[in-house]
Amino acid sequence: MTERSFDVVVLGGGSGGYAAALRAAELGRTVAVVERDKVGGTCLHRGCVPTKALLHAAEVADTVRDAARYGIHADLLGIDAARIATYRDGIVAKKHKGLEGLLKARGITVVPGEGRLESGPAVRVGDELLRARDVVLATGSYSRTLPGIEIGGRIITSEGALELGEVPRSAIILGGGVIGAEFASLWRSLGADVTIVEALDHLVPNEDVTLSKGLERAYRRRGIGMSLGVRFASTRQDDDGVTVALESGDALTADVLLVAVGRGPATDGVGLDETGVRRERGFVVVDEQLRTNVPNVWAVGDIVPGLQLAHRSFQQGIAVAERIAGMASAPVPDTHVPRVTYSHPELASVGVTEAQAVAAHGEAEIETAEYNLAGNARSEIIGTGGLVKVIRRKNGPVLGVHLIGDRVSELITEGQLAVAWDAHPEDLAPLIHAHPTQSEALGEAFLALAGKPLHAL
């Protein structure tokens, strides 16, 4: 058995893990990252990046279909799934190589293999023990399934969907959250018949209901089927396809069934229980500073209760590295974390929904303003509909910003600043938005809440 010592050992090289490693190294610490697969984790290799590449390819297909609208003569002759996969994989490979180079340049030791936390703290990888002053747990998440559904064959998770060699002719998607909505969008754009089954009453049920209804309308226009407010009863597959029976008595048949019912924390089998790290429902219990109950052991990312988003993981990794170095790093609540669904149309939001605001402060204390993208020149130029919705406390700050429309994800950082800085619409109304841009729609909503709407009645 061999031993090495570091200031910081990070268990997991995904978004939160490598962010913690980079920042700790930048602050002069010696750092090791233990990763059983490839640095970059789920987000880079099996999640955010490859799915967004596919969504862009789907957008190109839609643009070609609609080219005549803009006076461009073009025909969509077909979908080459292999070429799309090559494009996607090339982007992932380039980002992976860049990350490996960055870790190396910062002097970070990457240790391949399965790691387990041990007392000390330390991390064991095979016959090697990596001792540390501080250990950061960043083991990420896995695709959940439901009782009665066995993954395999025509029944797949998002990882399996990325491995398909062709676009399915038809697909059932169990779960209408972010992952389900994104795959429904891209598969439909690439020519598949798609039906979403969601147990709750709306798609993307964690979003403001205005966005949910807007996405449902858009999906109906695109020919995406939906069974909302109904649960699945059973599944069956054979050589010809997969059948999903619903509790309503209906049955759906398709080439594949994508199970997109969320992700669970990957915390089993990594030594947490043996070393006394407290867990609840699989998630690691942490304080506001992301410390576990075991001294000098921290946790970040998807294994910490809350939003499972790569950019939240980045921020937490950076914050923990700074706290280890003795720096003050203010916690960021989940209400300040932007949320995006990269569908067609996109959804982007930050802060609380109208229902949450009313529950917290009472209906009489809440004001909202909506601005339809139909009045925005840039949105008209690129051919998207949608709206901006801003929620404020009466005579108080902005509490939530919610957008639906193509490319609105690029606007949400302004919304984050408004919410995080407790800005009042009156403070934001004088700010100038370039014309013509979609950001003007957000400015119009702020103007309306400040009592001086310009382009809205």
Tokens of 296: 């000098």
CA neighbor of 380 nearest in space, from 433, 429, 431, 441: 441
Angle at 51 between CA 93 and CA 226, to 5 degrees: 165
Q: Please identify which residue in the block is written with the tokens 């309306």.
A: 448
Query: Does residue 302 contact residue 265 with C-beta atoms inside 8 Å?
Result: yes
Question: Residue 369: in which H helix or E strand, if any?
Answer: strand 366-372
Residue 147: both structure tokens together: 């009782």
The conformation of residue 301, written as its DSSP 8-state character, comes to G
The amino acid at 172: I
Q: Which residues contact 191 (CB under 8 A, 6 or more apart)?
A: 61, 79, 167, 169
Tokens, residue 47: 């999640």
- Counting runs of H as helices and runs of E as strands, what totals does the chain give? 13, 24
Identify whether 56 is a catalytic site residue: no
> Closest Cα to residue 22, out of 314, 330, 295, 328?
314
Candidates 311, 402, 433, 435; catalytic one:
435
φ, ψ at 113 (rounded to 5°): 135, 175
Task: Enumerate the active-site residues.
Answer: 435
